Amino acid sequence: MTKEVLMVKKMTHKSRKFHTNTAVFGFLSLYGCFVCFAIVDYLFGFVIVVLTLWRKL
């Protein structure tokens, strides 16, 4: 009985740790996507500005 309880406790601890890692990883990947999107958006805006200035010239 005590061995089983210990095993269950270990399992719950591991799963909790796993869930925390998953949450952190999900947050990081979301943040990475946001940063990538911001960079792409910035570059796209820069290209549009350059093109409009070039057309005016």
The model's pLDDT over 3-52, given as tens digits with 9 standing for 90+, comes to 888 877 887 777 778 778 888 888 888 898 899 899 999 999 999 999 99
Classify 1 as helix, strand or coil: coil
Residue span of the structural domain in which 48 resides: 1-57
CB hemisphere CA count around 19 (13 angstroms)? 6
Q: Is the overall model pTM greater than 0.85, yes or no?
A: no
User: For position 41, what pLDDT does the model report?
Assistant: 94
Tokens of 20: 């925390």
**d(C-alpha 1, C-alpha 19), whole Å:** 27
**Dist. CA 17–CA 21, nearest whole Å:** 6
Number of domains making up the chain: 1
**What is d(CA 37, CA 48) in angstroms, rounded to the nearest whole number?**
16
